[in-house]
Amino acid sequence: MMNKAYIFNGVPWFDQNGETVNAHGACMLKEGDKYYLFGEYKTNDVNKFVGFSCYSSYNLSDWHFEGLALPPQEQGLLGPDRIGERVKVFKNHKTGTFVMLMHTDNLKYADPCIGLATCDTIDGTFKFQGPLLFEGQPIRMWDMGTFVDEDGTAYLLLHEGDIYRLSDNGLTAVEKVAENIAPGGESPAMFRHGDNYFMMFSNKTSWERNDNYYFVSNNLHGPWKEQGLFCPKGSLTYNSQCSFVFSLEADGETVPIYMGDRWSFPRQASSATQVWLPITVREDICSIPEYWPVWASESISLVFPEGIDEPLPFRSNGRGDSVSYTFEGSQIMVYGISDCHGGYAEFSIYDDTGELIHHAIIDFYSLVPDSNMNYVSPKLSYGSYTLKVGVMGENGVWYKKDGTQFGSDDYFVTLESVKVCT
């Protein structure tokens, strides 16, 4: 069962080396028969640009780390002690060049600029070209996205709802198509369905999740109509922030897939996760009516993983407290409760000789209480293993520019059960 291509939401994914897939503020495109995922390559100790990552997959389940698509530069907009975020990549329909856009900034977020990089191949190292220009001047904005229309025309999307049309070669902005569609909105993402364009935004709550919303129009120039939320109210967009929408073909249909980030500050490299869900569209209304913890990419359908279920009750906020579970199989899933009192936990798997074969850090924080899957191990050779879960006595806490505190108020790790797959 577990050899099939399943997308697990809200848990870390692992690449061919067993390392956490580290690609945030991400985007996706397909080239040939492979999908390519680009995102921010984060660290757990400092929030600055260390590179944009590239991963590839044939099935959206098994990921191969291709390397850094764009490493830090020696100087300039992405030089030392700079910010690089919201990376987006598209293929220019006329030149065949791959174009990368991103938000660059200083560490105080006081010097925003949209940056530009290019590469002849999708899996190569991009060359940074400097700022993206409009009428000869850099575009000095921050949260951004991209959208490529059916005719191949590419657009830059910006926070607050500005839209720029890019040139035929994708290397400059040539027209300001719309502006101020969504005052107060950030993390823009767009898709087209039929004659309608749908543009998603989140509210500004730092790394905290919120109820994202959307606008619709049958013309990019507008008028744009605010349609409200696309996920159930109070779900905080299933604990995620919109990042991108990509098209997935299945059973002869093309379905828009929402890509969202479940940020985990400060452990962004090890514990931040992805939430990907199919979008339902009916005329000028789009929605994601329910959360799918696991779904099959081939059929775009909800999946209930098979395996042996066992209770694993554990709740502690004491640093160093732990629980162990010995199992025989090829994969283990752990279910628990995340809430505003949750902290970080260390997950370690040992083989029958006591050798550590896998380690991960899982975040049990959620502003809205959530009983769900927290961890899915990499696929293992069938055998006997011991899973150990330990309380780290750490939690995610961060502050807005005005000093407002967000995040957890305790260090609890709460487990409910496990499922062992053969």
- Report, as an integer, the average pLDDT of 142-149: 97
Separation CA 340–CA 367 (nearest Å): 5
Looking at CATH, the fold of the domain delimited by 308-421 is given as Jelly Rolls (2.60.120)
* Band of residue 83 on the pLDDT scale cut at 50, 70, 90: very high
Q: pLDDT digit string (tens) for 237-246?
A: 999 999 999 9
Report d(CA 224, CA 229) in Å as an integer.
Answer: 15
Q: Does domain 6-302 have CATH number 2.115.10.20?
A: yes
Residue 294 has a CB neighbour count (10 Å cut-off) of 16
* Position 303 pLDDT exceeds 70: yes
pLDDT given for residue 403 in this prediction: 82
Return the H-helix or E-strand segment holding 270: helix 268-271
Interval 225-240: pLDDT, tens: 999 999 999 999 999 9
Asked if 6-302 and 308-421 have one fold, the answer is no
Average of per-residue pLDDT across 275-281: 98
CB-CB contact of 148 with 154 (8 Å): yes
Q: How far apart are CA 60 and CA 55, in angstroms?
A: 10
- What percent of the chain shows pLDDT beyond 90? 94
Distance CA 387, CA 290 (A): 31
* Reduced 3-state DSSP string for 198-245: EEEEECCCCCCCCCCEEEEECCCCCCCEEEEECCCCCCHHHHCEEEEE
The whole-number pLDDT of residue 233 equals 98
- Choice among 203-207, 281-285, 409-413 with the minimum mean pLDDT: 203-207
Among 188, 263, 202, which residue's Cα sits nearest to residue 231?
202
User: How high is the pLDDT of residue 45?
Assistant: 85
Q: Where are the domains of the chain?
A: 6-302, 308-421
**pLDDT band, very low/low/confident/very high, at 1 (cuts 50, 70, 90):** very low
Q: Mean pLDDT, the chain, as a whole number?
A: 96
Min mean pLDDT across 123-132, 204-213, 314-323 is at 204-213
Residue 251 in this model has a pLDDT that exceeds 90: no
**157 with 114: CB under 8 angstroms?**
no
Number of residues written out for the chain = 422
Strand partners of residue 202: 186
144 pLDDT more than 60: yes
DSSP 74-115: SSSTTSTTEEEEEEEEEE-TTT--EEEEEEEEETTS-S-EEE
Looking at residue 398, its pLDDT comes to 86
Residue 153 has pLDDT above 50, yes or no: yes
Q: pLDDT at residue 4 above 80?
A: no
Output the pLDDT for position 239.
Answer: 97
Band of pLDDT at residue 47, cut at 50, 70 and 90? confident
Confidence at residue 2, expressed as pLDDT on a 0 to 100 scale? 43
pLDDT digits (tens, 9 = 90+) for 348-388: 999 999 999 999 999 999 999 999 999 999 999 999 999 99
Q: What was the pLDDT predicted at 205?
A: 87
User: In angstroms, rounded to a whole number, what is the distance separating the alpha carbons of residues 51 and 78?
Assistant: 9
- CA pair distance 404, 327, nearest whole angstrom: 44
Average pLDDT value for residue range 53-79:
98
> Helix, strand, coil shares of the chain as percentages rounded to 5?
5, 55, 45
